Structures are given as C-alpha cells and as structure tokens.
Amino acid sequence: MFRGRYGFTVDSKGRVSIPSRFREQIKNDYASNILVLTSLDQAVFAYPDPVWRKIEEKAKTLPLANKQARQFLRLFFSGASESQIDSHGRITVAPFLMEYAGLKRDVVIIGNLDHIEIWDKKRWEDAKKQIEEDQDLITESISKLGIF
C-alpha cells in the first residue's frame, strides 16, 4: 500500500520523480514499472498497471443505461495515459493531464492505498486545508462504513 507525502518538482519535459519508496513497492508488489495516469479531483492519479486492469474490469460492469455512469467512464478513461518509470525513477505526465491538474513546478506526491496522487503544491495545500476543516464531519460519515 502507498502511504506518505513527498515534495518534488516537474521538469520542463513534464517528468516527475516517483519517491523511491513507491518505486520499490511498485517493483516488488506489482512486478511492473508501468503506471496508468488519469485525472480526478484536480490531480493526477497514478495506478500500477495491475491495479488499473482491475478497475477496468469493474468499470465494465457499470450500467451503460445510466447517464452518470457513461459520463464518468467517458471522462475517467479518455483521460488515461500510460507512463513507464524510467531509469532515473521518473514518469512523464501527458500535457493534458498537467494542464488539468495545474502542474507547473512544485508538486506533492501522496500515497493513497492502491494508487499515487500527484498534486500541484498550492492545490494540495488548499485541498488539505478543506479536508482538515471538515475532518469531524468526514470521520463521522466514514465511520458508518465500519473502517474505524
């Protein structure tokens, strides 16, 4: 599982380093150096290829008669892009994903269980502040799911 938070920069070619701890995890747990990137919440979500394949299988079960399901599938999968971790531990983020997430220079890379999220530093700080402000309500809501 991916956990933790790390600061990095995006270079002029749209490459960002993946934290060494995450690279080792991807190599050891997923036997792949391919990440599938897509966009959610104004960030780039990076899934190890085997995790992404499971998401695709689950997505195939969504009812196409449901307009919201179609819209979600359309947006989520049209924004997907494969990126291989290079010999320097970097991935290249597609320009359209960089634009969507507002990635310019300083980024925060967070581990979120089965995937990695790449955030513009300012957007992350704003999102984190909002989450912290809503923490009691969020905790109460998810406690009903039996996580805690």
- Whether 146 has a pLDDT exceeding 90, the answer reads no
User: Structural domains in the chain?
Assistant: 2-121 (3.40.1550.20)
| 117: exposed, middle or buried (Cβ count in 10 Å: 0-12, 13-18, 19+) | buried
Per-residue pLDDT of 127-142, as tens digits, reads 999 999 999 988 888 8
Q: Give the CA dihedral 29, 30, 34, 38, nearest 10 degrees.
A: -90
pLDDT of residue 60: 95
Per-residue pLDDT of 41-70, as tens digits, reads 999 999 999 999 999 999 999 999 999 999
Q: Model's pTM, two decimal places?
A: 0.92
Q: What percent of the chain has pLDDT over 70?
A: 99
